[in-house]
Amino acid sequence: MPYWPYTFELPDAESEVVLVTNWRADGPATALVDPSDAQSVPGVVDVEPGPDHPFWVIETSGFDAVWPRGFSVESSVAPYCLVGEHDSSISVQGPAHVADPDELIAPGQTVVDRRTMGEGVRVLELAYEHDGEPWWQGLYLLPRKGGRVLVFTAQSREPGVTAARHGVEWMMGLA
């Protein structure tokens, strides 16, 4: 459990060690958490034993998701935002009622694909321009109880589109 505001990073592509940063007014406080010998660091992160599997999971009160490689976890958007190279990001909202996914399309965005994946995950892929550059956005609507959905939003400018798409689909168990 991190202390807010925070960032979690996997600084080494070959390791499961996590760098946790607590952003304080007097400067950042950091801790390295090694899953083979996980220890709490007061004021930075509280560590409890977790499941025994070969990947990190992001847990919130409403849902759990697998943490995709190449993305840091930040407290910049509730409940969290994943941030990667090329300004890519993945965020989650909901659960909410979304009667028509087209309501989520912003002015200036163009639909480039619609599909259903896995067990009823509706996907809208959009293209738009921001600051003179082409961007991609994927909206993934994961069904929940009561007709509600979690909306996973992935976006990136080129050349990060493939990594953002793979990241959101992997964390949802679709890749």
Number of domains in the chain: 2
Shared-domain flag, residues 39 and 89: no
Q: Contact 7/75 with Cβ under 8 angstroms?
A: yes
For the segment 39-62, the average pLDDT, to the nearest whole number, is 83
Shared-domain flag, residues 86 and 131: yes
Shared-domain flag, residues 171 and 87: yes
> CA 7 to CA 1: how far, in whole Å?
12
At 124-139, the pLDDT tens digits run: 999 999 999 999 999 9
Shared-domain flag, residues 48 and 131: no
At 57-91, the pLDDT tens digits run: 888 877 788 889 899 999 887 788 999 999 999 99
With cut-offs at 50, 70 and 90, classify the pLDDT of residue 38: confident
* Domain assignment of residue 48, yes or no: yes
* Domain assignment of residue 59, yes or no: no
Shared-domain flag, residues 107 and 165: yes
| Mean pLDDT estimate for the chain | 91
* Domain assignment of residue 73, yes or no: yes
Question: For residue 159, is the peptide bond before it cis, meaning its omega torsion is within 30 degrees of 0?
Answer: yes
Write out the residue range of the structural domain in which residue 77 sits: 68-175
* Cα distances (Å, whole numbers) of residue 157 to 36, 77, 86, 163, 172: 36, 19, 6, 11, 21
